[in-house]
Amino acid sequence: VINCIGNESDASFLASLFKCFLDSMLVIGGPSALAPELHAGLLEATKRQLQSLADKRKARAARPAEDKEEIMLVEEMEDFALEDMAKVLRTLDANHPLLIAVSSVRELGLHLSEWESEDEGEGS
The set of residues, in sequence order, having a beta carbon less than 8 Å from that of 89 and lying 6+ positions away, is: 46, 96, 98, 99, 102
pLDDT tops 60 at residue 27: yes
pLDDT (tens digit per residue) in 76-123: 999 999 999 999 999 999 999 999 999 999 999 877 665 555 555 554
Which parts of 28-97 fold into alpha helices (H)? 36-62, 68-92
Q: Work out the pLDDT band at 124, boundaries 50, 70, 90.
A: very low
What is the reported pTM?
0.85
Q: How far apart are CA 44 and CA 49, in angstroms?
A: 9
CA nearest to 10, candidates 42, 53, 59, 61: 53
Contact status, residue 112 vs residue 68, Cβ threshold 8 Å: yes
